[in-house]
Amino acid sequence: MSFVGWSVITVVAVGCSGGSVADSASDTSTASEKSDPPVASFADCRESELPKIDPELGTLASEFRDNYAAYDLGTPPLPEGETSETFFDPLGGIIIPRDDRNRLIFVARSESRSAALYSVEITRDECDHISGFVGKSVHLVDVSRAAVGLAFADDGTLFVSQFQLAGIAQLAPDFSIIRETSLDTMGVDGPGGLSKVPAGFANEGAFRIVGYPSGRWYELDMTKTEAGYNPTGVHAVVTLDHGPGGIAYVPPNSPAFGDKRYALLTEWFQGRFQVEGNFDPAVQRVAVYEVDERGNPIGETRRDFFEKFDRPWAGYFDEFSGDFLFLSWNRSPDRVVAVRGFKPLL
């Protein structure tokens, strides 16, 4: 598939504390009668000055509407000297470094030979949710065919999926390219989505990829060497329907999810790819799957998180706020959207 235009979406977490304690001089209640200071509710943290997304772009499934809301963050600011509002299109993968919580790294011109990684400073509100961009975007490195999957290893190596090359690029902390590895000879198609199983899940730290358009889900074994990471095994586990791409593991114990473990997958089509030559948001969704003890989706547990969404792709949870970031693809100029409600991972 050739990609031509993205818009990014963020699902943001609840969890802002607030409230004041009554003056002790006038408080005559006993310690046992006192209650804890109030904590801001989901509604307190969910409300934002950002505009909500247009219902024509996407609609949350009914079971999640009381706990989650989607906002439009706009388009990342252009680099110095650039004027074309479609300069970044199509946008690709997105991620936030753990040691630089106010910087968003994203793929521009995704899938193309001129694909590159950029960074931009982000702002946060009093509840730690991502609230906007500051300054200009900065070019980091060119990575041909960089796609939607970005994941950090524990040592700071950044993995980047390369869709049309069926490969993965590895970047050093200074964003220089360590190596590029083809997975084609290992039988991998795609890969579109790439993710690392996060803390709070069994099999923490393991890598997972999904092929597009096949929907084949793989466990990826990686061994660290002096020359970077070497893929030592790829194991096909399950084939998922509907053209999944982005992979993002839901922060444990988030509202409406209970105590099981889940992953969100952006889906490109529901049995049909296009209708009369135009993209049809009615056949594109964001799905939620329960995952097993190895972090792999259980096919029969699929249900809608967004009951419709116009061209969704990619997927990433901000560890500090719980904000879920994903993209609306081919809606030039591409934009960043935010959906709030998830529990922060950190």
Confidence of residue 327 (pLDDT cuts 50, 70, 90): confident
Q: What digits encode the pLDDT tens for the residues 182-200? A: 998 898 887 889 999 998 8
pLDDT of amino acid 74: 85
- In the chain, the percentage of residues whose pLDDT exceeds 70 is 83
pLDDT of amino acid 199: 86
Question: What number is the average pLDDT over the span 279-303?
Answer: 88
Do residues 312 and 331 make contact, with C-beta atoms less than 8 angstroms apart?
no
302 pLDDT above the threshold of 50 = yes
Residue 159 lies in a domain: yes
Do residues 245 and 326 make contact, with C-beta atoms less than 8 angstroms apart?
no
Instruction: Please state, in angstroms and rounded to a whole number, the distance separating the CA atoms of residues 279 and 327.
Output: 15
Domain count, the chain: 1
Q: What are phi and psi of 301, to 5 degrees?
A: -95, 0
Cβ-in-10-Å burial (0-12, 13-18, 19+) of 132 comes to middle
Residue 27 lies in a domain: no
Residue 129 lies in a domain: yes
Residue 71 lies in a domain: yes
Domain with 335, as residue range(s), is 8-15+53-340
Q: What digits encode the pLDDT tens for the residues 221-269? A: 999 999 999 999 999 999 998 888 899 999 999 999 999 999 999 998 7
pLDDT of amino acid 14: 38
- Residue 250: name the closest of 1, 9, 11 by CA: 11
Q: Which two tokens stand for residue 246?
A: 């982005």
Confidence of residue 281 (pLDDT cuts 50, 70, 90): low
Q: Which range among 23-27, 157-161, 202-206, 283-287 shows the weakest confidence by mean pLDDT?
A: 23-27
pLDDT of amino acid 145: 94
Do residues 178 and 157 make contact, with C-beta atoms less than 8 angstroms apart?
yes
- Residue 45: name the closest of 68, 28, 27, 26 by CA: 68
Nearest 5 degrees, angle CA 56-CA 79-CA 194? Answer: 60
Do residues 28 and 345 make contact, with C-beta atoms less than 8 angstroms apart?
no
Confidence of residue 146 (pLDDT cuts 50, 70, 90): very high
Residue 77 lies in a domain: yes
Residue 25 lies in a domain: no
174 pLDDT above the threshold of 90 = yes
- Give the single-character DSSP code of 134: E
> Around Cβ 123, how many Cβ atoms within 10 Å?
11
Do residues 29 and 23 make contact, with C-beta atoms less than 8 angstroms apart?
no
Residue 48 lies in a domain: no
> What SS3 state is found at 169?
strand
Confidence of residue 181 (pLDDT cuts 50, 70, 90): very high
Instruction: Please state, in angstroms and rounded to a whole number, the distance separating the CA atoms of residues 21 and 202.
Output: 40
36 pLDDT above the threshold of 70 = no
Residue 223 lies in a domain: yes
- Residue 161: name the closest of 176, 142, 180 by CA: 180
> Which helix (H) or strand (E) is 232 found in, with range?
strand 228-239
Q: What is the mean pLDDT of the chain?
A: 84
Instruction: Please state, in angstroms and rounded to a whole number, the distance separating the CA atoms of residues 346 and 344.
Output: 6
Q: What digits encode the pLDDT tens for the residues 92-132? A: 999 999 999 999 999 999 999 999 999 999 999 998 999 99
pLDDT of amino acid 202: 86
48 pLDDT above the threshold of 50 = yes
Look at 11 and 172; give whichever has higher pLDDT: 172
37 pLDDT above the threshold of 90 = no
- Pairing mode, strands 193-196 and 285-290: unpaired
* CATH classification of the domain holding 77: 2.120.10
